[in-house]
Structure 1
Amino acid sequence: MPGEAGDVQVKESTLVVVGDMEIDRPEPRNTFSKVASYLEAADLRFGGLEASMSHLGAPASGKIVMRHDPEMIQGYLEGGFEVLAFASNHCMDYGVEPFVETMELLERNGIAYSGAGRNIQEARTPAVIERGGVRYGFLSYVLELPLGWGASPTKPGVAPIRQDALYGPPYVNEEDMEAMIADVERTRPRVDFLLASFHWGASQSRTLTLSQQAAAHAAVEAGVDIVVGHHPHILQGVEVYRGRPIFYALGNFVLDHDHPM
Structure 2
Amino acid sequence: MLTQRISPNPDADFLALVEMLRKTDVTITNVEMVFPGRGRMASTTMHGIPCGVEPGLLSEFEWLGIDIYGMGHNHATDYGVSGLVASIEALEARGLTYAGVGRTLQEARAPRYFDAPDCRVAYIAAGSSNARLCLAADPSVGDVGRPGTAPLRVQKPITSGRSGSTNCARSWRRQASMSLRRERLPLVFTFHILTRTSTMDLRREGLRSRA
Same fold (TM over 0.5): yes
| 1:141 aligned onto 2:126 | yes
TM-score, L = length of structure 1: 0.57
User: After superposition, where does 1:33-44 map in structure 2 within 5 Å?
Assistant: 33-44=15-26
Q: 2:190 aligns with which of 227, 239, 246?
A: 227
User: After superposition, where does 1:62-73 map in structure 2 within 5 Å?
Assistant: 63-73=48-58
Three-state SS of the structure 2 residue aligned to 1:105 is helix
State the shift of 1:64 in Å.
Answer: 2.3
TM-score, L = length of structure 2: 0.69
Distance 2:112 2:16 in 1: 28
Distance 1:167 1:115, change over 3 A: farther
Q: % of aligned pairs identical?
A: 23
Q: 1:58 aligns with which of 35, 39, 42?
A: 42
Structure 2 unaligned blocks of 5 or more: 139-144, 160-170, 193-206
Distance 1:98 1:131 in 2: 30
Matched residue, 1:180: 185
Q: Deviations over 1:69-115 (max 9, x none)?
A: 11211111111212110010112112111111111101111210011
- Larger strand proportion of the pair: 1
CA contact (8 A) 1:161 1:173 kept: no
Q: 1:122 aligns with which of 107, 123, 141?
A: 107
Distance 1:57 1:123, change over 3 A: same
Distance 1:149 1:78 in 2: 29
Counting matched residue pairs gives 167
Instruction: Specify which structure has the bigger relative contact order, considering alpha-carbon pairs within 8 angstroms and separated by 6 or more residues.
Output: 2
CA contact (8 A) 1:89 1:142 kept: yes
Distance 1:72 1:62, change over 3 A: closer
User: After superposition, where does 1:139-218 map in structure 2 within 5 Å?
Assistant: 139-153=124-138, 154-165=145-156, 167=158, 170=172, 171-172=175-176, 174=178, 176-177=180-181, 178-181=183-186
Matched residue, 1:100: 85
Structure 1 unaligned blocks of 5 or more: 1-21, 182-218, 230-242, 245-261
| 1:29 aligned onto 2:20 | no
Distance 1:179 1:70, change over 3 A: same
- Larger helix proportion of the pair: 2
Distance 1:34 1:155, change over 3 A: same
Segments ≥4 residues shifted beyond 6 Å: none
Q: Deviations over 1:110-152 (max 9, x none)?
A: 2100111000111111111121231111001111124331111
Distance 1:129 1:24 in 2: 26
CA contact (8 A) 2:27 2:68 kept: yes
Three-state SS of the structure 1 residue aligned to 2:137 is coil
For the pair shown, which has the larger CA radius of gyration, 1 or 2?
2
